Amino acid sequence: MELLTHRYRNVSVLVAAVLAQLLLLGYQIRSREDVPLVRVWAVTAVTEVASLLESAGAAAAAVARNYLWLIGVRQENERLRSELEGLKLENQHLRAELARAERAEALRLFQARTPSRTLAARIIGAGPVLNSKVVFVDVGSRQGVEAGMAVITPEGVVGRVRAAYPVSSQVVLLTDPSFAGGVISQRHHVQGTLKGKGVRLCTVDYIQNEDKLEVGEWFYTSGDDRVFPRGLPVGPAVVVRRGKLLKEVLVAPSGLENGLEEVLIVLEGVHQPIPAETPPAVSTLHLLPPPPADPMRATEPAGPAASLETDADRLRERYRRIGEAQGHRFGEGLPGSPPPDFTLEAAPETPAPWSGPEKPPAAP
Amino acid sequence: MRADSDLLVDGLRRPQGEARFQKLKLVAVPLAALVFQVWVPLAVVYLGYLELPLLVVLYFALTRRRQIASLLYGAAVGLSQDALSHNPIGMFGIAKTLAGYFAAAASVRFDVDNPVVRFLLSFFFYFFHQFLYWALTRALLAQPASFSLQQALMLGALNGAVAVPLFHVLAKLLGRG
């Protein structure tokens, strides 16, 4: 024992420290419980300092700007120069304020429009793990935030609240490798599981190779995960290719495209239907209205080939032509009336000559 | 201006050959490093690649040269960092405990005043820390974490390059280098 405590004291303490932490880890993993006290202390200490620093930074910028103005009073030359500097700074400041006001306005409009009850929050910190996508926001359990709540912007889904502390909350972004959520595609209603990869794009897993999905098709939250209300935009599919068993689908999250400063936390979610059209861009990019229809093209009847996408469409078109060739009008005959003779081929609608048997059209 | 080695000799002359950091500074410096890691990358994304808490632990271990104190300091800083992450508490704690211990052990074998040695040690321990964290993530959490050797080597060089001037700043700040 003496040998252990003196000669191998350093190693003994090292082993004890590592073992203690391994036991702590094992307890958390097995019981799926956290050590809230340590987290509350650390997060509160760090986020409070970070909030103070951000406020101090803004105040320092204002003081520096005023200082430049005071210097300008002393000497004319310096005044003009500093005035220019001050104006430049002010210009930058106002531009930043304008951008912030526009974002805040967009957020407010979205907040008023969406049926879900939401709470606006500001990003105040990033996570310490390399390649992890975790941020801290400035609202916490005192404002009603709870773990598991969805975090969104007008552009789309951002992530979910992992932990709520008294004055701040930790948010896992949807690009984090630990993130997963249910999604559904807009046009073909293909369901899958959105997963983060630690990079800009996310994957959508569990989509069969046989499912129909196109590049550019939007994904929305399906609501199946009980975290995100159904109908929130997630982003368009940018890569769709066949895999061994399942499709490989990559999605560009629309909620993270313009950076993150302000977000909304969904306190009470309301499911919505998947919209029929692509979500309108919230950005300030101005788009012209669509051009007027071409009068020349408007008079042209739409060719039947335009709608013949499937074998069923082509078969239906063939039967229609056979019926017309025999003078039969679908949907008008009484029950028991003789149907057209489908064994007789009708003439194609192209200018090609009639190649079928010569048969007068049957009386209706 | 005295060389770092003079300061170290002064430190060794002190009782038990230890440096005496003030308690407030011992808490404030890693707290500042954590705040830096959480707050600054919001403005400058690339600064998120700096592992300042680890560099603070390494500085402490290399100058203090006491393995038990260094491993406990590393554990405290690592556990605080864990509390800010979304992983279970203990991952960074174990990695920094081992980094602190081995850095203190290395400090008695190398001339830690030499900037080249500081760079190499910081580079090595950054790589060691990242590899250990990745191994723990895969082994204990069973998460599909990926380890990019190229990225780890590049960021190790970056952190090593930052460590050299940072250690000088910490020496001025804490009166010991």
Convert the pLDDT of each residue in A210-236 to its tens digit. Answer: 889 989 999 999 988 888 999 999 999
- pLDDT, residue A195, reads 92
Residues in chain B within 8 Å Cβ distance of A28: 88-90
Q: Which amino acid is at A56?
A: A
Residue A88 has pLDDT above 50, yes or no: yes
Which residues does residue A135 pair with via DSSP β-bridges, in sequence order? A126, A171
User: Which chain A residues in 45-84 lie under 8 Å from chain B, judged by CB atoms?
Assistant: 45-47, 49-50, 53-54
Nearest residue of chain B to residue A196 (CA atoms): B144
Mean pLDDT value of segment A184-203: 90
Mean pLDDT value of segment A327-346: 70
Of the two residues B102 and A350, the one the predictor is more confident about is B102
- pLDDT, residue A308, reads 58
Residue B158 has pLDDT above 60, yes or no: yes
Mean pLDDT value of segment A309-317: 75
Of the two residues A362 and A7, the one the predictor is more confident about is A7
Residues in chain A within 8 Å Cβ distance of B34: 42, 46, 128
Residue B113, CB-side half-sphere exposure with 13 Å CA sphere: 10
- Of A319-328, B9-18, B102-111, least confident by mean pLDDT is B9-18
Residues in chain A within 8 Å Cβ distance of B79: 21, 38
- For the beta carbon of residue A169, count every other beta carbon within 10 angstroms: 27
By the 8 A CB rule, do A137 and A121 touch?
Answer: yes
Looking at this predicted complex, what is its ipTM? 0.78
Nearest residue of chain A to residue B31 (CA atoms): A46
- Of A11-20, A104-113, A152-161, A245-254, least confident by mean pLDDT is A104-113
How does residue A56 score in pLDDT terms, banded at 50, 70 and 90? confident
| Nearest residue to B77 (alpha-carbon basis) of B48, B100, B106 | B100
Distance between CA B162 and CA B126 in Å, rounded? 12
Instruction: Quote the mean pLDDT of chain B.
Output: 84
Q: Where are the domains of chain B?
A: 4-174
Distance between CA A238 and CA A251 in Å, rounded? 6
pTM of the model: 0.57
Nearest residue of chain A to residue B36 (CA atoms): A50
Are B155 and A35 within 8 A, CB to CB?
no
- pLDDT, residue A3, reads 60
Are B143 and A177 within 8 A, CB to CB?
yes
How many contacts, defined by CB atoms under 8 Å, are there between A and B? 128
Of the two residues B126 and A331, the one the predictor is more confident about is B126
- pLDDT, residue A101, reads 75
- pLDDT, residue A70, reads 65
- Return phi, psi of residue B122, to 5°: -65, -45
**Per-residue pLDDT reduced to its tens digit, A60-82:** 888 877 776 666 556 677 777 87
Contacts by B27-33 with C-beta closer than 8 Å and gap 24+? B29/B56, B29/B170, B29/B173, B29/B174, B30/B56, B30/B57, B30/B76, B30/B77, B30/B80, B31/A45, B31/A46, B31/A49, B31/B80, B33/B77
Mean pLDDT value of segment A24-48: 79
How does residue A32 score in pLDDT terms, banded at 50, 70 and 90? confident
Percent of chain B with pLDDT over 70: 85
- pLDDT, residue A307, reads 53
Nearest residue of chain A to residue B70 (CA atoms): A14
Residue A114 has pLDDT above 50, yes or no: yes
Are B68 and A9 within 8 A, CB to CB?
yes
Of the two residues A35 and A285, the one the predictor is more confident about is A35
CA distance A38 to chain B (A): 6
- pLDDT, residue A362, reads 44
Are B42 and A125 within 8 A, CB to CB?
yes
Residue A314 has pLDDT above 90, yes or no: no
Distance between CA A330 and CA A111 in Å, rounded? 51
Residue A254 has pLDDT above 80, yes or no: yes
User: Which chain A residues in 91-150 lie under 8 Å from chain B, judged by CB atoms?
Assistant: 123-130, 132, 134, 136
Contact with chain B for residue A42, Cβ under 8 A: yes
**Per-residue pLDDT reduced to its tens digit, A145-192:** 999 999 998 889 999 999 999 889 999 999 988 899 999 999 889 999
Residue A53 has pLDDT above 90, yes or no: no
Of the two residues A280 and B134, the one the predictor is more confident about is B134
Nearest residue of chain B to residue A260 (CA atoms): B42
Of the two residues A271 and A304, the one the predictor is more confident about is A271
Residues in chain A within 8 Å Cβ distance of B48: 126, 130
Of the two residues A139 and A130, the one the predictor is more confident about is A139
Q: Which of B31, B51, B91 minimises the CB distance to A45? A: B31
- pLDDT, residue B120, reads 94
- pLDDT, residue B125, reads 95
